[in-house]
Structure 1
C-alpha cells in the first residue's frame, strides 16, 4: 500500500516549474498568464485553504481523494500539466462531467450484449467522472469516484481523440501528475532549433542512471537495468530507448523495437540492422516503403547496408559475423546448428559471451545473430535471459545457471503430440560412420544430387513443390532433412511422408548400407487415415540383416531380430497401435545409441534433399499416372501406361 498523502507536493511542483521556465526560448510569444508564471517560476496558484476545499466538496457532494486534496493545499490548480492540458482545475473549476462531451453515448454504441462490467464501467465514466481539464488540446482528465483503492484514492482517466487509444488509467492524482511531469520531460527532450538546452537536475540524474544501467546490463543485471532504462525512456532521455530495445529484443519481443536511432549509426548498424530487417521481411510482403521510417537520418552507407541485408535475409544467405574469439565461436555454432545440434551450438555461443566486446558505448549484447537463418532458431525466451544474465563486454559479475537443453537426446519425443497434432506419420534413415553431406550419395540414384540450402520444414516443402516438374503415382521420393544423430551416426528425416503401401514399399536400408550399417524406421501408429503401421529394417554392407513390419494387426518379420527389438514385445498380446510407439522408439534408441534433434527438426533450418523412390518399380501390367508441368506453364498432361522398364 502506498501512502500518497505523505507525498510532499511543494518541492516537486517547484522543481517542475523551474524546469519549465528554463526550457522556454527567450523570443517566444507567450500569454499574459504564462509570462507571469515565467517571472514567478511557478506554474501553480496560491494554495487553497481548508475552508475553500470543504466548500468545493459540499458543492460536489463528495470528499475529494487524499492526493488531490493535498495538492490543492499547495496549489489551487495547475498550468501546463504535461503537453496537452494547459489548465488543470482547482477548487473553483472542478465539476462533474455528466457526459458533456457525449463520449458516453459513443462508447455505449460500441458495446454489444455480451459486454462485461469493465467495458460498461469504462463507458459510464463520462457520466460519473469529475472533470479536471479546464483548457486543453481536446484532452479530457477525469477523476473516477467509483474506481477507489484502499487509501481512498480515485483513479484518474485521460483521453484524447487524436491518440486513437482507449482512456489511459492513472492509479491516483499523484500518479497522474507524475506521468504529466514525465510527458513534459519527454516532449522537451526533443529539442528544436532555437530552444535552450534542456538540462536540469532531473535530466542529469536520469542520464547518470542510464549510464549505470548500461554497466549493470553488461554485468548481467538486465532486469534492474531494464527497469532503470524504462523509467529514463518515459522522461525521453537519449540512449534509454535504444539500450532498452536491445534487452527487449533478446527477450523475444519485436513490437515497437527499432533501437531508437541507434540502427542508423554506422558503428551499430551491422549488429542492429539484421534483426530489424528480419522483422521487416517477415511482415512487409515485399513492400519496402516503411523502410524510410526506420532509416530516417541514415547516411547512404547505412541505407545501402540495410537493403543488402534485407535481400540476403529474403534469399536465406545472410550470415552473422563478429570479431575476435566470439566471432570464432559464432562459426563453430553455425556449423553445429547446420547439422541439427542446436544445444551444442547454443553452448558454443554462451561459453564465448564473456569474450564478446561491444561495438561502442551504446551496445549491450550481440544481436545480429538472431537474424541468421541457422543461429536465429537457437533463441528462446529462456536463452535470451541467460545471455542477458551473462557478464560480458569487460564487466565482471556472477555467471547465470545454464538453461536446460531443448533436445531430449533420444527418439521417443516423436511419440509426443506436436502443437498442431500434425506429426502422425514420419520416417527416417540412420547411417553409421557417414557424414550428413554424404547421404545423398547413398539414398539417391547417384545422379550428383547435392544438399539444398538449410530451410525450415515448411520452406523446404514449399520449395520442393515449386520446383517439381514431374510426379508419379507410383514413385515415393522422400524430401528429407539431414543432420547428425549422435556419436557416429547421421540421419535423414521425413516428417510428412506419403501414405504407406506395404505391397509396394521397399526399404532403402540395404541399398544405402555399403560398407556400413543403416537403420530405417517408418511409423504411422497414430495416422489419421488407414490402419496403423510400423516398420523397422536394419542392413549392413549391402544386405538386410533383419526387419519387421506391423500392419493390419499382423507382424511380418525376417532375419534374426535382437531381443530388445522383438516385435512380440510390442505387438504380441495387445491389438497394437499408438501405445507401442514410445517403447519402440526407446528400444531403437537403446539398441543403436542414436537420437534425433527435436528443436532443429521442429523449429530450425536443416539441409534437405530428395531420395530415390521408397517403392518398387511397377510390375507387368500395372499402370500409374505421371504428371508433367511444362516450364512455360504448359497444360498438365496425364498419362496412363505400363512400366516403361518392363
Structure 2
C-alpha cells in the first residue's frame, strides 16, 4: 500500500494493533492518569466511532468537507490518544478547529521571510492562519491540516511543527500518512527499552527483525538496493541493528553526514573497519573541538575511545593505513602500491576483483569500509564505485557480478587542456622519463649533490615532508605539498626556478614528474631538464602556457636521449624556435602555422600528439584528487649571464 492509497487503508486493524502494542509496552507499576489507565485496560487508544451525522455536523461547523482519510479515521475513532511521543490527544469531531493564528506563529514565520520571498514561501507562513488544528494536548507540537494543499484525491496535507526542533514544519501527504508516521515514532521511542519496562516484542517487531536478517543476506549477495529499502523501514521503527547495517551501505554510497554505525562502531569486532571512516568524517569537519567524537561513540569503553583518538591522529597526519586479512588484505596492499604511483583505475580494479574474497568480521559486517579513510585508497572512493562494490557478491555469498564503473582517468594528456573545476590550471609542466621507476626521478632532476630516497616511501625525506630536496616526500595532496613547500620560505628569486613536482607512472615503461603551478616561463634563460633526466634512457619535457589569462602564451617541447637533446621547439607569442629533426607528428608548423588556432584547441592538439608519439598518459584523478610523492627539482633556468639582472624577494 502506498502513502496515498488511503481508500484501501484498514483503519480498524491499524488502530487496534497500535493500541494493543502500546498497552503491552507499559510497566504494570508505572503511574498513569485515569484516562491512560482506562485505555490500557481496554487496550484501545481511541474513542467510540463518530457517526456520519456527527462528522457532517463538524463539517457544517467548519464550513468545509473533511479530507477522505481523516473522515475514515473518525468513523473508526472520534479522536486519538498518544499520537506518537509528543501529541497526547488528537482532535475528533468536537475539538478540531481552525487555528486562525492562535499561536502567533504566522507573524513569527513571516518575520523570517526575505523581501524577495516567493509565493510558495509566503503560503507556508500563512499556514498558521488557514490550517485546521488537530492537536488538543501536546508537548508544544502543532498538527495542522492544510485546506489549500490538496491532491487529486481530495486529501489535505498534514503539517507538524515543534517549537523545540530547529526545523521547518514537516509535511505529510495526508492524514493516513501522518498517522503511520506517528505509529513509527511510537515504535522508535519504545524500541529503546526503558528500565523496568516489558520487553517490546510484538508481531510488528518480529516482522521487522526478520526483515533486517533478510536484508543482511541480500546486501551480501549484492542486492543492496532492496536491502537498503528494508533497512530504512526498520530504522524508522527504531529496530536494533537497522541503523548500523544501513549506515554501512550509506557510507559506501557517498553519504557521510549523520552516518555513525549506531550500535556497531563500539563493538570491538567491528571497530577496525567502522572507526576509521567515522573518524575521517569527524576530521574533515572538526579542526578545533574533538569532544564531539566521543558523542558519536556513546557506550564505548576506554580502550575503544583511546583507539578512536589514535586513529584520528593518524588520519590527520596522513599515516593511517587500512589493513585486512586473507586474500582481500593482500589485494589491499597491491592496490595501495598502484595508487601510490597514480594508477587510480588499476588500484580500483585490484580491489574490485578481490571483493568476492572478502570476509566479514562478524554477522553484522556488510562490506569493507576502513579503506575509505586510507590516504591512498580513500581517493578511489566515489558513489559509483561504492555501488559497484555493494553490487558485488561477497562474504561467501553468490550472485551476478556488476558492470564495472567508468574509469576515473581518461587516458592520454588531452585532459590537461580542459579547464579544471576552479579554472586555475592555466599553465603546467611535466617531465616524462622512459624505463625508470618514479623513485629514480629525484636523482635525475634534482641538484646533483643530493641523494634520492632509495625506496621511495618517504621515510628518509626532508624534515618539511614536501620534497625539500632530492628525496621523495610521503604521499601528499597537491594542496598539502605546496603548503609545506612554502612554509618557512623567506626568499624567492627569479634567478632560481626550482619546481615542486608530483611523481608517478605515466603508462607502460614511463614515469612522470608534474608541476601544476609553475613559475613564469624562463624565456631566454630556460634550460630544459630533459638532457640531465635522459642519462641512459629517453626523456620528454612539456611546458604549456597557451591558455594564460594574461601575458605571453607559450609552449615548449624537448626530447633527449642518453644525455643529449634530440629535438626541441619553443613557441612564444607567434614565433617558433626549433632544433633537431622533429618527427612529423610533432612538427610545430602543424599547430602554429599562421598563429595558434586558439589556446585550448591548439594545446589539446599538441598534447594528443605527444601522447600518441610516446604512448604516455598522466593520471588526472591522482594529480587533481589523490596523493602523490613529491620532490623539488634543480633549477629550470641557467644562472644569469653578464649584464643580465634578476630579482630576489625576501620576506620577514
Which TM class, normalised by the smaller chain length?
over 0.9
Determine if the alignment matches structure 1 residue 40 to structure 2 residue 25: no
Determine if the alignment matches structure 1 residue 293 to structure 2 residue 295: yes
Q: Classify the secondary structure of the residue corresponding to 1:158.
A: strand
Deviations 1:465-492 (A, max 9, x none): 1153543221110000000000100000
* Cross-structure match for 2:363: 361
* Cross-structure match for 1:317: 319
Deviations 1:147-183 (A, max 9, x none): 0000000000011100121111010000000000000
Distance (Å, rounded) in 2 between the aligned partners of 1:376 and 1:6: 48
Deviations 1:348-378 (A, max 9, x none): 0000000001111111110000000000000
* Cross-structure match for 1:643: none
* Cross-structure match for 2:463: none
Task: Name stretches of at least 5 consecutive residues in structure 1 with no aligned partner.
Answer: 630-635, 637-646
Deviations 1:430-452 (A, max 9, x none): 00000000000000113122100
Matches within 5 A, 1:72-471: 72-446=74-448, 447-448=450-451, 449-468=470-489, 470-471=491-492
Determine if the alignment matches structure 1 residue 602 to structure 2 residue 604: no
Q: Which moved more, 1:565-574 or 1:200-209?
A: 565-574
**Is the Cα contact below 8 Å between 1:133 and 1:139 reproduced in 2?**
yes
Q: Which moved more, 1:199-208 or 1:261-270?
A: 261-270
Determine if the alignment matches structure 1 residue 493 to structure 2 residue 517: no
Distance (Å, rounded) in 2 between the aligned partners of 1:343 and 1:467: 36
* Cross-structure match for 2:70: 68
**Is the Cα contact below 8 Å between 2:596 and 2:602 reproduced in 1?**
no
Distance (Å, rounded) in 2 between the aligned partners of 1:426 and 1:553: 20
* Cross-structure match for 2:523: 502
* Cross-structure match for 2:595: 574
Distance (Å, rounded) in 1 between the aligned partners of 2:394 and 2:636: 51
Q: Classify the secondary structure of the residue corresponding to 1:583.
A: helix
Deviations 1:76-126 (A, max 9, x none): 000000001111011111111111111001111111221111111111111
Distance (Å, rounded) in 2 between the aligned partners of 1:120 and 1:361: 51
**Is the Cα contact below 8 Å between 1:3 and 1:151 reproduced in 2?**
no
The Cα shift of 1:5 comes to 2.4
**Is the Cα contact below 8 Å between 1:452 and 1:608 reproduced in 2?**
yes
* Cross-structure match for 2:538: 517
* Cross-structure match for 1:555: 576
Distance (Å, rounded) in 2 between the aligned partners of 1:67 and 1:5: 8
Q: Which moved more, 1:469-478 or 1:409-418?
A: 469-478
Distance (Å, rounded) in 1 between the aligned partners of 2:352 and 2:579: 48
Q: Classify the secondary structure of the residue corresponding to 1:276.
A: helix
The Cα shift of 1:261 comes to 2.7
Q: Classify the secondary structure of the residue corresponding to 2:262.
A: helix
Distance (Å, rounded) in 1 between the aligned partners of 2:480 and 2:194: 48
* Cross-structure match for 2:467: none
Distance (Å, rounded) in 1 between the aligned partners of 2:110 and 2:290: 39
Deviations 1:281-335 (A, max 9, x none): 1111132111220122111221111111111111111000000000000000000
The Cα shift of 1:34 comes to 0.6
TM-score by length of 1: 0.96
Q: How many equivalent residue pairs?
A: 630
Determine if the alignment matches structure 1 residue 616 to structure 2 residue 638: yes
Distance (Å, rounded) in 1 between the aligned partners of 2:289 and 2:644: 51
Distance (Å, rounded) in 1 between the aligned partners of 2:54 and 2:140: 29
**Is the Cα contact below 8 Å between 1:553 and 1:576 reproduced in 2?**
no
| Alignment equivalent of 2:549, drawn from 511, 522, 528 | 528
**Is the Cα contact below 8 Å between 1:434 and 1:489 reproduced in 2?**
yes
**Is the Cα contact below 8 Å between 1:444 and 1:610 reproduced in 2?**
yes
Distance (Å, rounded) in 2 between the aligned partners of 1:232 and 1:61: 41
Distance (Å, rounded) in 2 between the aligned partners of 1:455 and 1:561: 37
* Cross-structure match for 1:593: 615
**Is the Cα contact below 8 Å between 1:517 and 1:540 reproduced in 2?**
yes
**Is the Cα contact below 8 Å between 2:574 and 2:595 reproduced in 1?**
no
Distance (Å, rounded) in 2 between the aligned partners of 1:502 and 1:577: 21
Distance (Å, rounded) in 1 between the aligned partners of 2:377 and 2:288: 24
Q: Classify the secondary structure of the residue corresponding to 2:210.
A: helix
Q: Classify the secondary structure of the residue corresponding to 2:419.
A: coil
**Is the Cα contact below 8 Å between 2:342 and 2:622 reproduced in 1?**
yes
Provide the alpha-carbon RMSD of the alignment: 1.2
**Is the Cα contact below 8 Å between 1:483 and 1:606 reproduced in 2?**
yes
Q: Classify the secondary structure of the residue corresponding to 1:262.
A: coil
**Is the Cα contact below 8 Å between 1:532 and 1:577 reproduced in 2?**
no
Task: Name stretches of at least 5 consecutive residues in structure 2 with no aligned partner.
Answer: 452-469
Distance (Å, rounded) in 2 between the aligned partners of 1:353 and 1:385: 13
Distance (Å, rounded) in 2 between the aligned partners of 1:75 and 1:287: 51
The Cα shift of 1:402 comes to 0.5
Distance (Å, rounded) in 1 between the aligned partners of 2:56 and 2:442: 88
TM-score by length of 2: 0.95
Deviations 1:544-574 (A, max 9, x none): 0000000021100000101110000100133
* Cross-structure match for 1:25: 27
